[in-house]
Amino acid sequence: MKKVVLLAFLLAMSETAFGADVPLDSPPIGKKVFTAGEITVTGEKDSAKNTVSADDMEKLDKKNIAQAVNVLPGVNLGNAGARNEGMIYVRGFDMRQVPLYVDGIPLYVPYDGYIDPNRFTTFDLSEIMVSKGYSSVLFGPNTLGGAINMVSRKPEGTFEGTLKEGITLGNGQIASKLSSLNLGSNQGTWYVESALSLLDSKFWPLSGSYVPNSNENGVERDNSAAKDLKGSVKIGYTPNSTDEYSITAIGQHSNKGVPVYAGSNPTSAVRYWKYTDWDKSSLYFIGKEALSSTSYLKTKAYYDNYFNVIDSYDNATYTTQTSKKAFTSVYNDKTFGGSVEYGTELIKHNTLKLAIHDKHDMHREFNVGQTPKEFEDNTLSFAAENTWAAADNINVIAGVRQDFRNTIKAEDLQNNKISSFPLDDNSATNYQLAVVDHLDKYQEVTAYIAKTTRFPTLKDRYSYKLGNALPNPELKPEHSCNYGLDYSIKPYEQLKIQASVYQSKLVDVIQQVNNIAYVNNILVYQEQNTGKATFTGFECSADWKPASWLKAFAGYSYIDRKNDSDPTLYFTDVPKNKISGYLQFVLNKSTWAMLETEYNSKRYSTSDGKYTAGGYGLLNLRASTTLISSLSLQASVENIFDRNYAVLEGYPEPGRQYVLSIAYSL
């Protein structure tokens, strides 16, 4: 009942009378960017270094968001190999601590707080914005280490569209195909934007230097097929220059294999899994209206449904399910939520924003033939953020947010009988302070401090981890104090340099504590708030256009993650050093060629440090040309030297691939 009342309230608030003046903090209209889906902070530092545009995604041929954000310093691509999920790390924080949003609406799965970024293709996006360390309190709860916001497209012309077809070749045959279609129309007072895409991967090729073993015979990665079908429609109403209301519907259907572990760690399980369904459907409303020349109101209401089916098989034939490890697992998660954001400049030199967020999560799980278990949480958040123009060149941004998580239902299943776990509620306080100093028209420096939190997920609190753990319903939130200093300089139009230094001090980190008790003759572990850690890092990047025919980008990031509570345990999956960049040679206004490179130092794959994914460097070659005015052709050779590498030990990545695509602008 509570969620129904909230949604009704949000929709009612959106009916406020229209204003005639331009509202405060109204961002400039970007190229096909749905600006109502951005989270903006008045007076904030330049966010260009933390944004990947649609143009960047297209020219670098980044088909999913994990690949796309990996071009940014301080962001690392990972792999949850046992589930064949992509992973994004932002300054060492994973996706439970840096949640994913679309148009400012949270997308993380209610049960475990993760979501597979490989399932989200980029063909319908205008940009991806990554907040690091300092993320606005207006995002809502659980932004311990930042936030990632995918911003959808908005049409500009009376009719526009793009049709794209592509193939990827590996080991002399077609490895994958893609098709995408975007259509849009803006008629002034209303617009419509639609998108449809299919990414069908039959396999990915392994490097020619990969050495086969008993679990992987090489050439084509076994059980690596995946198919992603996604469609969306957005309908918007813009009655005047200041107000906008939109409804968006998105549907995704995916299925994927899970390549087996093929490393040397004897404790890593070999699982024969397939996701026959990885489905997501969303419906959301966003409204923004000017109440006067000094105030605005933004409302959001949304519904998400996540449906997953995993089949666990006996062996690599993927045909029988008779052993004890075989099962068919079904997860069905639903989320209702919404937010109200109010902004005003009633006080001179101050922009005040107030926000309320409510998110109601429901999780239902069962193995076929067993009794379903149900879980339910509600998270409520109140936020305030004020920007004070202290001087012509100095802005002071202060924010505070109070979060409350109420556990409504948590069912346990023992001997095929349902009972209730203890229900525990939590609250958390977040605050942030930043000072932005525009030293002159070429330089800007920002200093910030932020105390952030993350609530433990349902899985953190209640999972038996396949019989290897004891649940801990009393888990408390994780806390981090993030400090940072950012500097940017643009000495002339063709060069921009940016650098950041930061530190995060984490306490109450949820960590695995071993040897808690014997259960069914198994020595089990438990998740507890025992961890303390310090993340320290440095990032820098440079955009340079020394000549009309040459453009260059280079980025470097360094991070040192220390486990203060137990120095003998290592943090996994993030390298200390990362370098990325490209050189783009513009032959004429319709033809270019590019060399793209990336280097990652080694990373630990197990916390004892015994198993690592070695350092590697990659080189990609890309080229594009316009055949006729509306028809373009792009070709790439990825991993030119066919490097055998992994981001997680035992899970080899693709070898050399040839990519060809053709795009037609309607």
Query: Taking a C-beta distance cutoff of 8 angstroms, is the pair 92, 147 a contact?
Result: no
Provide the sign of the torsion angle of the four alpha carbons 49, 51, 52, 56, taken in this order: negative
Three-state SS at 137: helix
The number of helix segments (H) and strand segments (E) in the chain equals: 4, 33
Worst-scoring range by mean pLDDT, 33-42, 291-300, 390-399, 562-571? Answer: 33-42
Distance between CA atoms of 364 and 59, rounded to whole angstroms? 41
Alpha carbons within 13 angstroms on the beta-carbon side of residue 147 total 27
Structure tokens at 8: 């009704």
pLDDT-derived band of residue 512, with 50, 70 and 90 as boundaries?
confident
Residue 77 has pLDDT above 70, yes or no: yes
Distance between CA atoms of 151 and 149, rounded to whole angstroms? 6
Tens digits of per-residue pLDDT, 325-373? 899 999 999 999 999 999 999 889 999 999 999 999 999 999 999 999 9
Distance between CA atoms of 666 and 664, rounded to whole angstroms? 6
Query: Taking a C-beta distance cutoff of 8 angstroms, is the pair 355, 380 a contact?
Result: no
Tens digits of per-residue pLDDT, 565-588? 989 889 999 999 999 999 999 999
Instruction: Write down the pLDDT at residue 620.
Output: 98
Instruction: Write down the pLDDT at residue 3.
Output: 43
Distance between CA atoms of 276 and 256, rounded to whole angstroms? 7
Structure tokens at 52: 């990947």
Residue 47 has pLDDT above 70, yes or no: no
Instruction: Write down the pLDDT at residue 457.
Output: 95
Distance between CA atoms of 322 and 35, rounded to whole angstroms? 53
DSSP conformational letter for 521: T
Reported as type and span, the H/E element at residue 451 is strand 443-454
Structure tokens at 274: 């397939």
pLDDT-derived band of residue 519, with 50, 70 and 90 as boundaries?
confident
Residue 27 has pLDDT above 60, yes or no: no
| Rg for the chain, CA atoms, rounded | 25
pLDDT-derived band of residue 43, with 50, 70 and 90 as boundaries?
low
Cα angle for residues 240, 246, 248 (degrees, 5° grid): 160
Give whole-number Cα distances, 468 to 173, 328, 412, 517, in Å.
Answer: 43, 19, 16, 10
Averaged pLDDT, 248-272 = 95
The owner of tokens 């076929």 is 368
Residue 23 has pLDDT above 80, yes or no: no
Residue 4 has pLDDT above 50, yes or no: no
Q: Are strands 125-132 and 51-53 parallel, antiparallel or unpaired?
A: antiparallel
pLDDT-derived band of residue 24, with 50, 70 and 90 as boundaries?
very low
Tens digits of per-residue pLDDT, 201-258? 999 999 999 999 999 999 999 999 999 999 999 999 999 999 999 999 999 999 999 9
pLDDT-derived band of residue 659, with 50, 70 and 90 as boundaries?
very high
Residue 13 has pLDDT above 90, yes or no: no
Distance between CA atoms of 66 and 88, rounded to whole angstroms? 6
Structure tokens at 45: 């530092």
Instruction: Write down the pLDDT at residue 8.
Output: 39
Which of these, 114, 109, 59, 64, lies nearest to 226 by C-alpha position?
A: 64
Residue 500 makes CB contacts below 8 A (sequence gap 6+) with 74, 132, 484, 485, 486, 487, 538, 539, 540
pLDDT-derived band of residue 269, with 50, 70 and 90 as boundaries?
confident
Largest pairwise CA distance in the chain: 72
User: Which CATH number do you get for residue 242?
Assistant: 2.40.170.20
Structure tokens at 388: 């004070």
Distance between CA atoms of 456 and 68, rounded to whole angstroms? 28
Instruction: Write down the pLDDT at residue 40.
Output: 78
Which of these, 143, 133, 152, 137, lies nearest to 49 by C-alpha position?
A: 133
Tens digits of per-residue pLDDT, 84-122? 999 999 999 999 999 999 999 999 888 998 999 999 999
Three-state SS at 224: coil
Mean pLDDT of the chain: 92
Tens digits of per-residue pLDDT, 595-631? 999 999 999 999 899 999 999 999 999 999 999 889 9
Residue 18 makes CB contacts below 8 A (sequence gap 6+) with 239, 240, 242, 243, 289, 290
Residue 247 makes CB contacts below 8 A (sequence gap 6+) with 234, 235, 236, 283, 284, 285
Instruction: Write down the pLDDT at residue 46.
Output: 55
Question: Which residues span the domain enclosing 239?
Answer: 2-665
What is the tally of structural domains in the chain? 1
